[in-house]
Amino acid sequence: MNYDAKIDADEALAEQSDSGHDMLPDGGEGLITRRMALIGGLVVLVLVGLWFINRLVAPNELDSDSVQQVPVVTVLQPGRATVAGEIKTTGTLAARRELPVGVVGEGGRVERVLVEPGDWVSAGQVLAVIDRSVQVQQAASLQAQIGVAQADARLAQANLDRALQLVERGFVSKADVDRLTATRDAAAARVRVAQAQLGETRARNNRLNIVAPAAGLVLDRQVEPAQVVSSGSGVLFRIAKGGEMELRADLTEESLSQISTGIHASVTPVGSEKSFTGEVWQISPVIDPQNRQGTVRIALPYAAELRPGGFAEAVISAGAVVAPKLPESAILADDKGSYVYVVGKDDRVVRRNVKTGSVTADSIVVTEGLTGSERVVMRAGAFLSPGEKVKAQRAKGS
Query: CA-CA distance, 132 to 208, in Å (whole number)?
Result: 7
What are the tens digits of pLDDT across the range 173-207? 888 888 989 999 999 999 999 999 999 888 888 88
* Domains with residue ranges and CATH for the chain: 72-83+323-394 (2.40.420.20), 89-96+243-318 (2.40.30.170), 98-130+208-242 (2.40.50.100), 133-206 (1.10.287)
Nearest partner of 202 among 156, 262, 253, 142, judged by Cα: 142
Q: How many residues does the chain have?
A: 398
Long-range contact set of residues 266-269: C-beta below 8 Å, sequence gap at least 24: 266/314, 266/315, 267/298, 267/300, 267/306, 267/312, 267/313, 267/314, 268/312, 268/313, 268/314, 269/93, 269/305, 269/306, 269/307, 269/310, 269/311, 269/312
What are the tens digits of pLDDT across the range 231-274? 889 999 999 999 999 999 999 988 898 889 999 999 999 988 89
Q: How open is the CA angle 275-281-283, to the nearest 5 degrees?
A: 110
| Interval 83-93 mean pLDDT | 87
Count other Cβ atoms within 10 Å, centred on residue 60.
9
Q: Is the pLDDT of residue 21 over 60?
A: no
pLDDT band at 229 (very low <50, low <70, confident <90, very high): very high
Nearest partner of 377 among 340, 328, 347, judged by Cα: 340
DSSP 289: T
User: Of the ranges 99-108, 118-127, 226-235, which is most confident?
Assistant: 118-127
Query: Which range among 118-132, 161-175, 292-306, 330-344 shows the weakest confidence by mean pLDDT?
Result: 161-175
Q: Please tell me the predicted confidence (pLDDT) of residue 10.
A: 46
Q: What percent of the chain has pLDDT over 90?
A: 49
Q: Please tell me the predicted confidence (pLDDT) of residue 121.
A: 97
Nearest partner of 325 among 281, 378, 261, 284, judged by Cα: 378
Average per-residue pLDDT for the chain: 84
Rg of the chain's alpha carbons, rounded to an integer?
55
DSSP 73: E
User: Which is higher by pLDDT, 227 or 11?
Assistant: 227
What are the tens digits of pLDDT across the range 33-69? 777 777 777 777 777 777 666 665 555 544 544 445 7
Q: Is the pLDDT of residue 2 over 60?
A: no
pLDDT band at 100 (very low <50, low <70, confident <90, very high): very high
Q: Please tell me the predicted confidence (pLDDT) of residue 398.
A: 60
